[in-house]
Amino acid sequence: MAEEDIDGRHDMTGVERHHLVAALSYLGILVLVPLLFVDKDVPFVKFHAKQGLVILIGYVLAIIGVGFLPVIGDIFWVALGVASIAGLIQALQGKWWKIPLIGQLAEKFRI
64 contacts: CB under 8 Å, gap ≥ 6 = none
Q: Please state whether the predicted TM-score (pTM) of the whole model is above 0.85.
A: no
pLDDT of residue 98: 94
Give the dihedral sign, CA 46/92/89/32. Answer: negative
Identify the helix (H) or strand (E) that includes residue 5.
Answer: none
What's residue 39's pLDDT? 63
Give the whole-angstrom CA distance, residue 65 versus residue 30: 22
The pLDDT assigned to 75 comes to 87
pLDDT of amino acid 9: 44
Low-confidence ranges of the chain (pLDDT < 70): 1-15, 39-40, 67
- Predicted confidence at residue 65, as pLDDT, reads 78
